[in-house]
């Protein structure tokens, strides 16, 4: 059953957890006696399971990450007992699970977990913390998904406290979830961490926002971070005009800012993991970028949710064609609301969006698929690992691709439909799919666009060209409304394509070249060694840079290269460098008009609602 339907009855669940209902719950005991060697010892008990064999398994996927992960690979020393503590036989028929055939209606499975990667998908256990992503941590039995769950932690150190979206119980270090889906969505951090919290007003109802931060920084740094986070949170609430009804009343940012974690952000219904290897000081609070992105997800993807993700199937990849909206539009609103909050200036925002636009507009991959196709490829790229190479030129990440589409649509709406903005589209999706939660299909986004513009033909045409096809709008006139210019980075430089050569040693091309670039057209590929350009020998990066500097766009020269043991030669025709940035017209020496300034203020200024 879906988390969403179940949690509409969360008040009922709250009563349940403190009453007799929990006697039917399955419970987990999680301890960390061997934390220094990255081990947890976990026991899960299922009661009143009938007489049939019980199959336990580890998840193979985790919400918000799209590749398959084999979490069972870190599980060992598995044993089982019945309700009276008698040892039970375990059948191992496949790598993912453990089946217990003969029991008395109660089965306790115990196992050791090894975990040493702290991010949004994995777990890390050491003397400093237990950072737990539940699909990577907790085994579960098939067929009992709707039962409530209790989790008891035994902290490794007495100063560890617990940060989680699970519901706290009366007993210390004990938490509950209404069902398996909610449990798996609830990452948990046990450590000696700092906590700040405040409330936001949801039409008269206070909702608590909490930041739990495990870091080596000062209280003053934590306070500065919190103050900026509050402003970003306020601007995002203003986009939707509503605060999600966080289950159990609280939303938690769970941050690990330590050198031994992995940088990441991962969204959940009422919490997020926001990790970074840098301290707040070293990063100059740059971590707010991830915070902004992930908080926006508490509307867009957690509650305005693609139907393909609901309910989540933990035994396989869960692909959806709508990540250009779920991740991409979120990637536009992350920096946009940071700008509106006054945490970054207009130039920083234009720098960020200009970088994404440059990347997407010049990406070879768009000719191989639409944003929907790129979204469906997520299981192959989102933390997916394999030993055989894939062609990197057939994929454009739905993060920047979707961000650029949102950017372009926002400017298009403001141009063609006075008074209408992308915020109106987000609010329409919130009204029709967020409260109450009703997962959406791709056609629902088109319908919402038709609703806010009052122009179904525009919505159909935009969807067909931009989402089912690979078109991008002409950004020049769209950006001119705001007095923003598209400025070439190196307008007179000769360009052969993005090519990586080692800083030292022989000039061997280190990464695949993109179709449409001069080196690709000349027949060079990854692994080839450049020998000479014209009559100049190329011994390394310095010679290559000098050869480029001596040429101009349109020049044609001979190039010699060593390819899989054979020396070849070809003609190389230099092109103009296509890379560009976005700049304010007045920063480029031009004159900004009052209308352009007014447009900028309406778009990037603080919302005061």
- C-beta of 565: minimal distance to Zn ion in Å? 45
**Residue 90 and residue 80 in contact, taking contact as beta carbons nearer than 8 Å:** yes
Contact letters for Zn ion, residues 280-319 (x by CB under 5 A): ----------------------------------------
Please, which residue, 144 or 295, has the CB nearer to Zn ion? 295
- C-beta of 556: minimal distance to Zn ion in Å? 45
- C-beta of 570: minimal distance to Zn ion in Å? 42
Please, which residue, 153 or 398, has the CB nearer to Zn ion? 398
Residues 6+ apart with CB under 8 A from 535: none
- C-beta of 366: minimal distance to Zn ion in Å? 21
Residue 584 tokens, joined: 């304010």
Residues 6+ apart with CB under 8 A from 370: 467, 468, 469, 470
- C-beta of 269: minimal distance to Zn ion in Å? 14
**Residue 275 and residue 70 in contact, taking contact as beta carbons nearer than 8 Å:** no
For residue 124, what are the β-bridge partners? 116, 131
- C-beta of 351: minimal distance to Zn ion in Å? 20
Measured from the Cβ of residue 282, the count of other Cβ atoms closer than 10 Å reads 12
Total site size for Zn ion, rule CB under 5 A: 1
Alpha carbon distance 256, 125 (integer Å)? 13
Residues 73-102 close enough to bind Zn ion by CB under 5 A: none
Alpha carbon distance 236, 297 (integer Å)? 10
Closest among 565, 578, 436 to 496, alpha carbons compared: 578
Got the DSSP string for 388-451?
S---GGG---HHHHHHHHHHHHHHHHHHHSTT--HHHHHHHHIIIIITTT--B-HHHHHHHHHH
Backbone phi, then psi, for 606, in 5-degree steps?
A: -65, 135
Please, which residue, 43 or 292, has the CB nearer to Zn ion? 292
Please, which residue, 175 or 324, has the CB nearer to Zn ion? 324
- C-beta of 200: minimal distance to Zn ion in Å? 21
- C-beta of 285: minimal distance to Zn ion in Å? 20
**Residue 31 and residue 113 in contact, taking contact as beta carbons nearer than 8 Å:** no
Stretch that binds Zn ion, among 188-196, 247-255, 323-331, 452-460 (CB under 5 A): 323-331
Please, which residue, 63 or 483, has the CB nearer to Zn ion? 63
Please, which residue, 327 or 423, has the CB nearer to Zn ion? 327
Measured from the Cβ of residue 303, the count of other Cβ atoms closer than 10 Å reads 22
Please, which residue, 327 or 373, has the CB nearer to Zn ion? 327
Alpha carbon distance 301, 252 (integer Å)? 17
- C-beta of 266: minimal distance to Zn ion in Å? 8
- C-beta of 294: minimal distance to Zn ion in Å? 7
Alpha carbon distance 500, 502 (integer Å)? 7
- C-beta of 296: minimal distance to Zn ion in Å? 8
Please, which residue, 148 or 321, has the CB nearer to Zn ion? 321
Closest among 176, 152, 174 to 166, alpha carbons compared: 176
Structure letter (DSSP) for residue 342: T
Stretch that binds Zn ion, among 250-258, 320-328, 473-481, 558-566 (CB under 5 A): 320-328
Please, which residue, 402 or 439, has the CB nearer to Zn ion? 402
Please, which residue, 264 or 444, has the CB nearer to Zn ion? 264
Stretch that binds Zn ion, among 125-133, 322-330, 461-469, 540-548 (CB under 5 A): 322-330
Alpha carbon distance 167, 233 (integer Å)? 23
Please, which residue, 153 or 325, has the CB nearer to Zn ion? 325
Q: Which residue is nearest to Zn ion (CB)?
A: 327
Stretch that binds Zn ion, among 234-242, 270-278, 324-332, 410-418 (CB under 5 A): 324-332
Stretch that binds Zn ion, among 80-88, 269-277, 321-329, 511-519 (CB under 5 A): 321-329
Please, which residue, 39 or 327, has the CB nearer to Zn ion? 327
- C-beta of 566: minimal distance to Zn ion in Å? 46
Contact letters for Zn ion, residues 326-345 (x by CB under 5 A): -x------------------
Sign of the C-alpha dihedral, residues 207, 262, 134, 69?
Answer: positive
Alpha carbon distance 28, 24 (integer Å)? 13
Distances (CA, A) of 75 to 57, 78, 446: 10, 8, 45
**Residue 40 and residue 31 in contact, taking contact as beta carbons nearer than 8 Å:** yes
Please, which residue, 274 or 583, has the CB nearer to Zn ion? 274
Query: How close are the terminal C-alpha atoms of the chain, in Å?
Result: 37
- C-beta of 267: minimal distance to Zn ion in Å? 6
HSE toward the beta carbon, residue 311, CA cutoff 13 A: 18
- Which of helix, strand or coil describes residue 221? helix
Parallel, antiparallel or unpaired: strands 39-46 and 54-57:
unpaired
**Residue 425 and residue 449 in contact, taking contact as beta carbons nearer than 8 Å:** yes
Site for Zn ion, rule CB under 5 A: 327
């Amino acid at each position: 059953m879906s988390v969403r339907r179940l949690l509409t009855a969360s008040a009922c669940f709250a009563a349940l957890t403190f009453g007799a209902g929990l006697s039917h719950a399955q419970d987990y005991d999680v301890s960390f006696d061997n934390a220094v060697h990255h081990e947890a010892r976990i026991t899960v008990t299922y009661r009143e399971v009938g007489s049939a064999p019980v199959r336990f398994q580890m998840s193979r996927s985790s919400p918000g990450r799209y590749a398959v992960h084999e979490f069972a690979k870190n599980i060992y020393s598995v044993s089982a007992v019945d309700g009276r503590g008698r040892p039970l036989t375990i059948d191992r028929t496949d790598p993912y699970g453990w089946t217990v055939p003969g029991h008395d209606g109660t089965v306790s499975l115990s196992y050791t977990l090894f975990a040493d990667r702290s991010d949004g998908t994995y777990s890390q256990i050491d003397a400093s913390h237990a950072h737990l992503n539940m699909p990577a941590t907790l085994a579960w039995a098939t067929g009992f998904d709707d039962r409530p769950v209790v989790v008891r932690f035994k902290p490794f150190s007495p100063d560890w406290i617990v940060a989680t979206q699970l519901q706290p119980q009366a007993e210390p270090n004990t938490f509950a979830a209404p069902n398996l889906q909610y449990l798996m969505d609830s990452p948990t951090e046990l450590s000696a961490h700092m906590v700040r919290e405040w409330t936001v007003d949801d039409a008269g109802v206070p909702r608590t926002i909490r930041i739990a931060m495990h870091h080596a920084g000062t209280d003053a740094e934590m306070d500065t971070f919190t103050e900026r986070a509050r402003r970003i949170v306020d601007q995002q609430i203003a986009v939707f005009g509503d605060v999600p009804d966080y289950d159990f009343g609280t939303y938690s940012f769970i941050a690990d800012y330590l050198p031994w974690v992995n940088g990441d952000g991962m969204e959940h219904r009422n919490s997020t993991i926001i990790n970074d290897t840098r301290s707040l000081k070293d990063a100059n609070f740059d971590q707010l970028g991830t915070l902004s992105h992930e908080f926006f997800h508490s509307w867009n993807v957690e509650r305005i949710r693609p139907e393909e993700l609901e309910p989540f199937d933990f035994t396989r990849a869960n692909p959806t064609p709508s990540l250009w909206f779920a991740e991409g539009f979120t990637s536009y609103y992350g920096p946009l609301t940071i700008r509106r909050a006054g945490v970054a200036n207009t130039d920083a925002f234009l720098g960020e969006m200009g970088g994404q636009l440059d990347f997407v507009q010049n990406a070879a991959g768009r000719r191989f698929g639409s944003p929907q196709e790129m979204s469906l490829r997520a299981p192959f790229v989102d933390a997916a690992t394999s030993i055989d190479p894939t062609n990197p030129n057939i994929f454009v990440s739905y993060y920047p691709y979707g961000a650029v589409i949102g950017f372009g649509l926002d400017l298009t709406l403001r141009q063609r439909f006075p008074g209408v903005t992308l915020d109106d589209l987000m609010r329409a999706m919130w009204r029709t799919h967020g409260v109450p939660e009703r997962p959406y299909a791709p056609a629902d986004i088109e319908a919402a666009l038709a609703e806010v513009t009052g122009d179904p033909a525009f919505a159909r045409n935009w969807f067909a060209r931009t989402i089912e096809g690979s078109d991008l709008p002409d950004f020049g006139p769209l950006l001119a409304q705001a007095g923003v210019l598209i400025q070439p980075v190196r307008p007179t430089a000769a360009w052969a394509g993005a090519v990586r050569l080692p800083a030292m040693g022989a000039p061997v091309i280190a990464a695949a070249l993109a179709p449409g670039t001069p080196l690709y057209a000349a027949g060079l590929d990854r692994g080839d060694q450049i020998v000479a350009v014209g009559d100049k020998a190329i011994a390394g990066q310095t010679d290559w840079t000098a050869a480029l500097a001596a040429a101009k766009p349109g020049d044609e020269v001979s190039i010699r290269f060593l390819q899989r043991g054979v020396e070849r030669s070809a003609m190389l025709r230099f092109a103009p460098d296509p890379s560009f940035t976005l700049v304010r017209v007045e920063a480029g020496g031009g004159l900004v008009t009052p209308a352009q300034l007014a447009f900028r203020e309406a778009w990037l200024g603080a919302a005061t609602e």
